[in-house]
Amino acid sequence: MAARPGWPLPGSSALLVCDLQERFRGSVAAFPQIVAVAARLLQGCRILGVPALVAEQRPEVLGRTVPELGAQDLPRVPKSAFSMAGAAAPLLGDPKIRAVLLCGIEAHACVLQTALELLAEGLEVHVAADAVSSRSQVDRALALARMRQAGAYLSTCESLLLLLLRDSAHPKFPQILPLIKEPPPDTGLILGGGPGGAGGALRPQNPPKSAQNSPKIPPKSAPKSSSVWGAS
């Protein structure tokens, strides 16, 4: 079947899973849901014969890939660079690969830099936005916007699997159906920010006068979070 812009094919696509590691479990927004959606995408790619690679950012500091991803049988490539492109070079060096499906964390660091580098190499990049997160939802929202500006396609796990299938008559459709029949875990994350509604993370910083006159509540101290820099 002929390739079309923005439409990945199983025979010319690869899945890259970025840094879904133990140290991020308590700090990245909607981490369990992000992992669950990424696991669905990974399972679907396995069924459809799409090769996959898992990267780990400084695993000696940030821990190994979480087991619930179900990637124990896949190559897990350690890296110090934020972009996965170098770690994935052996897989992406296959001349048949023209499109990359991308998911993981953090959106504004390793996922963004991976997307930008792959786009510069002439590959199509399809970001599974419902399997991408950051500690800060402002960072996530702006990273997704920048990836789209750079030429990446923003999508969802279910949409990507359906694009790969193209037709309900596909012989693998009965195996994919259980993955998309049940709604994915609700992360509460949208393109514009967090659960507060569209554009939640990008609301104007000047509140309405009624809010300015209301009693000020001291902000809760934020828990100490892991860093993509791999600092211990």
Which active-site residues does the annotation give?
19, 79, 110
What is Dmax (Cα atoms) for the chain? 63
User: Residue 186 corresponds to which amino acid?
Assistant: D
Query: Measured between alpha carbons, how far is 127 from 28 in angstroms, rounded to an integer?
Result: 18
Within 10 A of 168 (CB to CB), how many other CB atoms are there?
10
Burial tier of 104 (Cβ tally within 10 Å: 0-12, 13-18, 19+)? buried
Query: Measured between alpha carbons, how far is 165 from 172 in angstroms, rounded to an integer?
Result: 8
Query: Measured between alpha carbons, how far is 1 from 11 in angstroms, rounded to an integer?
Result: 10
Q: What is the DSSP letter of 14?
A: E
| Joined tokens for residue 184 | 């994915």
Cα torsion 104, 76, 101, 85: sign: positive
Q: What is the DSSP letter of 166?
A: -
- DSSP for 28-51 reads STTHHHHHHHHHHHHHHHHHHT--
